[in-house]
């Protein structure tokens, strides 16, 4: 399927919906809230991305969805990024990862208190 066509947009929308649906059936409430927020923000930011950014973006989110679907134990959700993956991130991506980490830690701290 060609980038930028109606079929491309439909496949990206389908991926977006599948991720949110899988969050509902797989993640506990606090992780789902955080995950849904992050997914919405990222897909919104990449809505007008060019092919250079959109194709790897979709590929990474598909890998995430596949991993989430294979996960039967919540302890297996997520993974540490390799040095190579971290090195390929630009400053904005690293900043986004830092924000996500802080938000996840704050949710964990709130849940631990309650």
Query: Is 30 a member of any domain?
Result: yes
What's the pLDDT score for residue 113? 47
In a domain, 86, yes or no: yes
- First and final C-alpha spacing in the chain: 48
Alpha carbon distance 75, 73 (integer Å) = 5
- pLDDT tens-digit map of 4-32: 789 999 999 999 999 999 999 988 888 89
Which of 72, 78, 65 minimizes the C-alpha distance to 18? 65
Residue 1 placed within a domain: no
Tell the residue number behind the tokens 């849940």, with chain if given.
Answer: 111
Separation between Cα atoms, residue 49 and residue 54, nearest integer Å: 6
Q: What is the CA radius of gyration of the chain?
A: 15
Q: Is 38 part of a structural domain of the chain?
A: yes
93 pLDDT higher than 60 = yes
- pLDDT tens, 30-78? 889 889 999 999 999 888 888 898 999 999 999 999 988 887 666 656 6
Expressed as residue numbers, the domain containing 47 is 6-113
Domain count along the chain: 1
* Threshold 0.75, pTM exceeds: no
Indicate whether 25 belongs to any domain.
yes
Confidence tier at 114 by pLDDT (50, 70, 90): very low
């Amino acid at each position: 399927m060609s980038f930028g066509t109606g079929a491309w947009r439909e496949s990206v929308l389908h991926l977006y919906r599948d991720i949110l649906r899988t969050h509902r059936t797989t993640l506990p409430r606090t992780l789902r809230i955080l995950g849904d927020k992050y997914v919405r923000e990222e897909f919104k930011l990449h809505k007008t991305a060019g092919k250079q950014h959109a194709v790897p973006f979709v590929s990474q989110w598909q890998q995430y969805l596949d991993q989430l679907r294979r996960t039967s134990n919540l302890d297996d959700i997520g993974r540490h990024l390799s040095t190579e993956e971290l090195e390929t991130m630009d400053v904005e991506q690293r900043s986004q990862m830092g924000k996500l980490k802080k938000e996840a830690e704050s949710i964990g701290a709130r849940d631990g208190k309650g």
